[in-house]
Amino acid sequence: MKEKTKLVTAGRHPERFAGLVNTPVCRGSTILHGSMAEWEDKKRRRAADEAGASTYGRFGNPTHHALEEAIAELEGGYRSLVYPSGLAAGTTALTSLLAAGDHVLLTDSAYSPTRTFLTRVLGRFGVETTIYDPAAGAGIEASMRPNTRVVYVESPGSETFEVQDVPAIAAAAHRHGAKVVMDNTWGTPLFFKPFEHGVDVSIQAATKYIVGHSDALLGIVTCTEETWPLVKRTTQDLGQTAGPDDIYLALRGLRTMNVRLHQHWRAGVEVAAWLQTRPEVEAVLHPALPGHPGHALWKRDFRGACGLFAMVLKPAAPAAVEAFVDSLRLFGIGVSWGGYESLVVPFNPAGDRVTAKWPYRGQALRLHVGLEDPADLIADLERGFAALAERREKGRRAA
Ligand SMILES: *Cc1c(COP(=O)(O)O)cnc(C)c1O
């Protein structure tokens, strides 16, 4: 079945819900059983890991299972589990695979709360983390230790957009008995197929394109058959679960994700290419642009691009940068991404980087290109550049 069709059919069972097209929002903690025999049978089926066999709301109900089934199918993994946020998905996956005395290799480009969790929380429990260069590729081998259990990749990095050679990293990790955990939020289940590239556990911040409308937080972990029992057990041991209303929003968002993503992709490339022509811009970091250092890897491994990328302004006075950002009307100032609206947020990786020095001198801005007409977005950025020039001129006259 083709991908677009799967997006419509995955996880849907109208025959179980009076013919309703969508799996309803099922609310509930207690699940009743008709007899002691039925109760014992359900417990046995749950222990045997039968899909959908739940004895209590915390272990999921049909709303949870619909999303889990759909994402496992789309990402190409064995089974999935939902979490209350993307971060909770990542921290639970890591906790599942690690124990005291273990070593983790984490890409320098990782979502920074993931790094904080590893160092500040798992560090207290005797897990050691080493940061590696996202460009390492097969060279990751040199950083492997006998106790390295997890190599964590995020490709491209969601602030700095380095594309990683995931298959080469996975081959090296597997030679040393380590598992590869990937944050696949940028690629989405449509544009990067983690399990075709050697990943063992994939994380989605469903908050982004799966929910797609900036109205819910949600995370998903998808596993191979081998990693599934550990992740499932730890998820239950930690009491991780997510609310059915948010899951319903994710299921609803999922059905239109393909058309939204193709529009984000096209418009994102159009805006990024235009920014590249501007004299005020030092660099545009977008893997789908031919000049990007990760472009060849992106072309080899990805099936598309989402609407998230970054640009670096040429060095300018802070007041001029502020004038640029503040004059934008369609790009709202804020974090998160993957909704229908455009966003901008300043960031400064210079102080966080440990492997390679951040090579740019100006202010970095992350942009999310939403579903507005790209012509309007370009006009908005033009207004920004006019405000920047005006403020710079004022500064010059004052000096
Ligand atoms: C947003 C994000 C997360 C965390 O998702 P939340 O739902 O906000 O917790 C994880 N990874 C990446 C790459 C993200 O952009």
Domain residue ranges in the chain: 3-26+61-255, 257-398
List the Cα angle 62/64/65 in 5-degree steps.
Answer: 60
pLDDT digits (tens, 9 = 90+) for 126-167: 999 999 999 999 999 999 999 999 999 999 999 999 999 999
Averaged pLDDT, 309-338: 97
Mutational pocket test of ligand 1: of 91, 116, 184, 208, the residue with most ligand atoms within 8 Å of the beta carbon: 208
Closest ligand 1 atom to 218 CA: 7
Q: Is the pLDDT of residue 323 over 90?
A: yes
Q: Is the pLDDT of residue 395 over 90?
A: no
Q: Is the pLDDT of residue 81 over 90?
A: yes
Pocket of ligand 1 (CB under 6 A): 85-87, 111, 154, 158, 183, 185, 205, 207, 217, 219, 336
Which CATH code for domain 257-398? 3.90.1150.10
pLDDT at 373: 98
Cβ partners under 8 Å of residue 189, min gap 6:
71, 74, 75, 204, 210
Q: Is 323 exposed, middle or buried (0-12, 13-18, 19+ CB in 10 A)?
A: buried
Nearest CA to ligand 1 atom 6: 86
Closest ligand 1 atom to 87 CA: 9
Span from the CA of 213 to the centroid of ligand 1 (angstroms): 15
pLDDT at 61: 97
Span from the CA of 87 to the centroid of ligand 1 (angstroms): 6
pLDDT at 398: 87
Closest ligand 1 atom to 335 CA: 1
Identity at 354, one-letter amino acid code:
V
Does domain 3-26+61-255 bear CATH number 3.40.50.970? Answer: no
Residue 2: C-alpha distances to residues 8, 69, 74, 172, 261 (Å)? 10, 17, 11, 32, 16
Structure token pair of residue 253: 């968002």
Which band of pLDDT confidence, cut at 50, 70 and 90, is reported for residue 350? confident
Strand duo 364-368 + 343-347: pairing: antiparallel
Which band of pLDDT confidence, cut at 50, 70 and 90, is reported for residue 357? confident
Span from the CA of 192 to the centroid of ligand 1 (angstroms): 17
Structure token pair of residue 209: 């394109």
pLDDT digits (tens, 9 = 90+) for 232-276: 999 999 999 999 999 999 999 999 999 999 999 999 999 999 999
Span from the CA of 341 to the centroid of ligand 1 (angstroms): 17
Nearest CA to ligand 1 atom 5: 86
Q: Is the pLDDT of residue 93 over 90?
A: yes
Instruction: Please determine whether the domains at 3-26+61-255 and 257-398 fall in the same fold group of CATH.
Output: no
List the Cα angle 374/215/206 in 5-degree steps.
Answer: 85
Q: Is the pLDDT of residue 33 over 90?
A: yes
SS3 content of the chain, % helix, strand, coil (to 5): 45, 15, 40
Which band of pLDDT confidence, cut at 50, 70 and 90, is reported for residue 352? confident
Closest ligand 1 atom to 89 CA: 9
Distance CA 344, CA 281 (A): 15
Task: Provide DSSP, 191-212.
Answer: H--GGGTT-SEEEEETTTTTT-
pLDDT at 251: 98
Residues facing residue 130 across a β-bridge: 105
Span from the CA of 366 to the centroid of ligand 1 (angstroms): 14
Contact 109, 154 (CB under 8 A): yes
Q: Where are the beta strands (DSSP E) in the chain?
A: 79-83, 103-107, 128-132, 148-154, 179-183, 201-205, 219-223, 281-285, 308-313, 332-333, 343-347, 364-368
The per-residue pLDDT of the chain, averaged, comes to 97
Mutational pocket test of ligand 1: of 82, 87, 191, the residue with most ligand atoms within 8 Å of the beta carbon: 87
Cβ partners under 8 Å of residue 298, min gap 6:
156, 163, 287, 288, 292, 305
Which band of pLDDT confidence, cut at 50, 70 and 90, is reported for residue 396? confident
pLDDT at 197: 98
Closest ligand 1 atom to 158 CA: 13
Three-state DSSP state, 165 = coil
How crowded is residue 63: how many other Cβ atoms within 10 Å of its Cβ?
A: 25
The residues annotated as belonging to the active site are: 58, 111, 183, 208
Contact 157, 185 (CB under 8 A): no
Span from the CA of 102 to the centroid of ligand 1 (angstroms): 25
Mutational pocket test of ligand 1: of 158, 240, 306, the residue with most ligand atoms within 8 Å of the beta carbon: 158
pLDDT at 254: 98
Nearest CA to ligand 1 atom 2: 205
Which band of pLDDT confidence, cut at 50, 70 and 90, is reported for residue 346? very high
